[in-house]
Structure 1
Amino acid sequence: MPRLLRRLLDRFSPAPGAPLAGAAERRSATAGAFVAWSTPGRPVWSARDCGAFAKEGFQANAIAHRCVRLVSEAAASTPLLLYDGRRELTSHPLLDLLARPNPHEGGGVLMEAIYGHLLVAGNAYVEAVQLDDVPRELYVLRPDRMRVVPGADGWPEAWEYTVGGRSVRFRRAAGRLSPILHLKQFHPADDHYGFSAMEAAATALDLHNAASAWNKALLDNAARPSGALVYSGAQGAGLSDAQFTRLRAEMEAQFQGAANAGRPLLLDGGLDWKPLSLTPKDMDFIEARAAAAREIALALGVPPLLLGLPGDSTYSNYAEASRAFWRQTVLPLARRTGASLAHWLAPAWGGDLRLEPDLDAIEALSTEREALWRRVNAASFLSDGEKREAVGYGSDRS
């Protein structure tokens, strides 16, 4: 192949010592015979950081945006039950704090922000404002502004939050409640930061966004692929500079853009139109875009059937896909977040406090819960207390 390329280049290169052609002659040469040599370029991927995931994923991609909204809103709508040991508590300062974490937002908004940051950035940070060593308010901080400061032993000793050119350092004090709760997704190659589900879908995101941009550009150009105007006039004749400039200006003004869609192109004087680009059918455009959308949904834990994506038959019906979504994605996230919040805040009040999602409040799991109640109620060898524990309640309430 290199020998063939060299022979072609030598054929169209001037002989050694030959004078170079003038400007007009060079213009004529461009209308003569030529060889176009092209190879596929290297792919250009978006940056792999929190800001890029927020911009290229959540803000610019409809599939990723909907997946994050589905998971975060579903998890935030799941009530958390508070237990002290095996006893359920219906009234407690921790429940009041989670219901009204600060004067500006309710508990649902706070939890939705936590889950959203975990999905997009892989990390979520919650600040506790304390009074007399008791947390009074909770705030979610942006992960892209937070930096973990490791200590001599490798564990975080502080967190530095930077905004507007100013930095605030939150230090961990021995024997006191940590001012920051750092929630993170599992990352096998990082000691201090979590791995974003959006990063696992980054390649599919780039493909899906590029396909959308390509489709938009195609529509802006009257849904026609690009091409070339070939001049086939008399031998040795070519377009002058003035003719070339005028033709290009007319093409840009009268035939480019969505406003000129469908306008006929009138050619004369030996001009002919030759399309160069591949058609969407040749590129398998639609199928590639659908495959990228399914990969994005898979990485974020949402069954494609819930998004109305074509070509997915993993689940037989919508209800089955919805139950899988709750069981495999939402509930594990809610349980882990509730356990982290309880482990962080419980020492302020003492006791063996833990937070668990209320499965009875999830409509998608109502058929499963009904079947469980029926089986437990039919078990005559169980006492009332044992039946309560079997369905997820403690043996006593207070």
Structure 2
Amino acid sequence: MLDALLAPFRAHLRAPPARPEAKASRTAALVAVLSAGRPVWSPRDTASLACEGFAKNAIAYRAVRLIGEAAASVPLVLMSGTEELTEHPLLRLMARPNPRLGGAAFMEALCSHLLVAGNAYVEAVALEGRVRELHLLRPDRVRVVPGADGWPEAFDYTLAGRTVRIAQETLVAGADVPPVLHLAVFNPVDDHYGFAPLEAAAQALDLHNASGAWNKALIDNAARPSGALVYGGTGTLTEEQFERLKGELEASFQGAANAGRPLLLEGGLEWRALSLSPKDMDFEAARNGAAREIALAIGVPPLLLGIPGDNTYANYAEANRALWRQSVVPLVRRVADEVSAWLAPAFGADLRLVPDLDQVEALAAERSELWKRIGSADFLTDAEKRAAVGYGETGRQ
């Protein structure tokens, strides 16, 4: 199983290292002066962040899935100049990047990696001089290896204690196509890795998760705050009496199954409940505030996640449109631009992938209003109207 997983990477080990280009940034050498040829470790633990945020928090999980699924539903069209291509090997590659993932699943996973880890890595596999498959690499297993010029010269992929170094040599003869594409969210304090949106919401995630654990503990303790047993008799309880009392309380009165069971006290014992309550702690408001912070850090209007107390959007339709315009569409455009710039040289043409927003149902009302406004502009010619709505003389622009 491990051999089959690592098979696509072995070809990179036998290939000669790429020759560095003469052009380079004047400041790049300073970036790599202390790390040339060695992996640069990410400043965060991506696996732990994904576990605590994506896997254990319902708000973060749903927000990431909401954007990922929406991005995967946007059709991509291939443009060559001003002409739209309906049949092309690049379109077939994007429709089925590899035998395991279809185009929509591939796009959803790629966008989700960017939201959870701040980084996404795509490996291209070539056969007979043509790019045949695209594979996603888990961000927590990938380390950037910067070269002497400061730019990544390789990527280390670690699995089961073994590391494979994927050199960024030319994958297709005559075309500048490196084997790995690294997409990263803007990070102002790191030269190689992106900044995960979940990391920005780390404090809110801790607060929201801790409030859930507090609720669970409250239910386990008969759904009420803790109290104190006060001994009103003379002297003190013996060690044997104390242990017997403690054992009886844990066995007969602790836990959800014993909620509401009457407590029978003897020997001068008195139960006094503590005055601290969830209301005193403003518990629910703090939990909802943390949920809003998580949603906003990822880029989802809180209204779409059922979080109360948010009046920014007048209604659900406006919030949904804001999700698409502020989060989904910019993300899809960026991914399409990056993939186009990476793979276009392998197909020998001036190609670019463009999201087809005309087929996005959530933006249909907005698009209809634009067409109506442009159509009623008598001072525009038909050609100018087509250009204004994103169409050239023969199709999309």
TM-score interval, smaller chain: 0.7 to 0.9
Residues 1:210 and 2:210 aligned together: yes
Deviations 1:343-376 (A, max 9, x none): 0000011222111111111111111111111222
| SS across alignment from 2:182 | strand
| SS across alignment from 1:218 | helix
- Structure 1: which 5+ runs fail to align? 1-46
Aligned to 2:247: 249
Deviation for aligned residue 1:48? 4.6
Structure 1 Cα separation of the partners of residues 369 and 324 of structure 2: 17
Structure 2 Cα separation of the partners of residues 124 and 178 of structure 1: 15
Aligned to 2:182: 182
Q: Matches of residues 315-334 of structure 1 in structure 2 within 5 Å?
A: 315-334=313-332
Please say if residues 88 and 393 of structure 1, whose CA atoms lie closer than 8 Å, have aligned partners that are also in contact. Answer: no
Structure 1 Cα separation of the partners of residues 212 and 52 of structure 2: 12
Instruction: Answer with 175-184 or 383-392: which moved more.
Output: 383-392
Structure 1 Cα separation of the partners of residues 289 and 115 of structure 2: 21
Deviations 1:241-271 (A, max 9, x none): 1111111110111011111111111111111
Aligned to 1:232: 232
Q: Matches of residues 259-338 of structure 1 in structure 2 within 5 Å?
A: 259-276=257-274, 278-338=276-336
Please say if residues 386 and 395 of structure 1, whose CA atoms lie closer than 8 Å, have aligned partners that are also in contact. Answer: no
Structure 1 Cα separation of the partners of residues 333 and 176 of structure 2: 25
Q: Paired residue for 2:124, among 125, 128, 136?
A: 128
Residues 1:141 and 2:155 aligned together: no
Size of the aligned set, in residue pairs, is 350
Residues 1:222 and 2:222 aligned together: yes
Structure 2 Cα separation of the partners of residues 352 and 381 of structure 1: 34
Residues 1:112 and 2:77 aligned together: no
Aligned to 1:52: 48
Deviation for aligned residue 1:380? 4.2
Deviations 1:220-240 (A, max 9, x none): 111111122111212xx1111
Aligned to 2:17: none
Structure 1 Cα separation of the partners of residues 387 and 88 of structure 2: 21
Please say if residues 227 and 275 of structure 1, whose CA atoms lie closer than 8 Å, have aligned partners that are also in contact. Answer: yes
Aligned to 1:199: 199
Structure 2 Cα separation of the partners of residues 215 and 269 of structure 1: 33
| SS across alignment from 1:264 | coil
Aligned to 2:164: 168
Residues 1:64 and 2:65 aligned together: no
Aligned to 1:92: 88
| SS across alignment from 1:313 | coil
Aligned to 2:31: none
Q: 1:63 to 1:337 in 2, by over 3 A?
A: same
| SS across alignment from 1:195 | coil
Return the letter of the residue paired with 2:352. R
Structure 1 Cα separation of the partners of residues 44 and 223 of structure 2: 33
Aligned to 1:36: none
Deviation for aligned residue 1:310? 0.6
Please say if residues 116 and 197 of structure 2, whose CA atoms lie closer than 8 Å, have aligned partners that are also in contact. Answer: yes
Please say if residues 135 and 348 of structure 1, whose CA atoms lie closer than 8 Å, have aligned partners that are also in contact. Answer: yes
Q: Paired residue for 1:373, among 355, 371, 378?
A: 371
Aligned to 2:19: none
Return the letter of the residue paired with 1:139. H
Deviation for aligned residue 1:76? 0.8
Deviations 1:183-204 (A, max 9, x none): 1100000000000000011100
- TM-score normalised per structure 2: 0.85
Deviation for aligned residue 1:180? 0.5
Instruction: Answer with 187-196 or 224-233: which moved more.
Output: 224-233
- Structure 2: which 5+ runs fail to align? 1-42
Deviations 1:309-366 (A, max 9, x none): 1111101111111111100000000000000000000001122211111111111111
Return the letter of the residue paired with 2:64. V
| SS across alignment from 2:280 | coil
Return the letter of the residue paired with 2:188. P
Query: Larger C-alpha radius of gyration, 1 or 2?
Result: 1
| SS across alignment from 2:279 | coil
Please say if residues 198 and 298 of structure 2, whose CA atoms lie closer than 8 Å, have aligned partners that are also in contact. Answer: yes
Structure 1 Cα separation of the partners of residues 381 and 153 of structure 2: 49
| SS across alignment from 1:233 | coil
Structure 2 Cα separation of the partners of residues 308 and 245 of structure 1: 47
| SS across alignment from 1:247 | helix
| SS across alignment from 1:354 | strand
Please say if residues 82 and 395 of structure 2, whose CA atoms lie closer than 8 Å, have aligned partners that are also in contact. Answer: no
| SS across alignment from 2:384 | helix
Deviations 1:101-130 (A, max 9, x none): 111221001000000000000000111001
| SS across alignment from 1:186 | coil
Please say if residues 226 and 277 of structure 1, whose CA atoms lie closer than 8 Å, have aligned partners that are also in contact. Answer: no
RMSD over equivalenced CA pairs, Å: 1.5
Structure 1 Cα separation of the partners of residues 116 and 87 of structure 2: 34
Aligned to 1:26: none
Return the letter of the residue paired with 2:69. E
Please say if residues 83 and 353 of structure 1, whose CA atoms lie closer than 8 Å, have aligned partners that are also in contact. Answer: yes
| SS across alignment from 1:223 | coil
Which consecutive segments of 4 or more residues in structure 1 shift more than 3 A? 379-386
Q: 1:277 to 1:163 in 2, by over 3 A?
A: farther
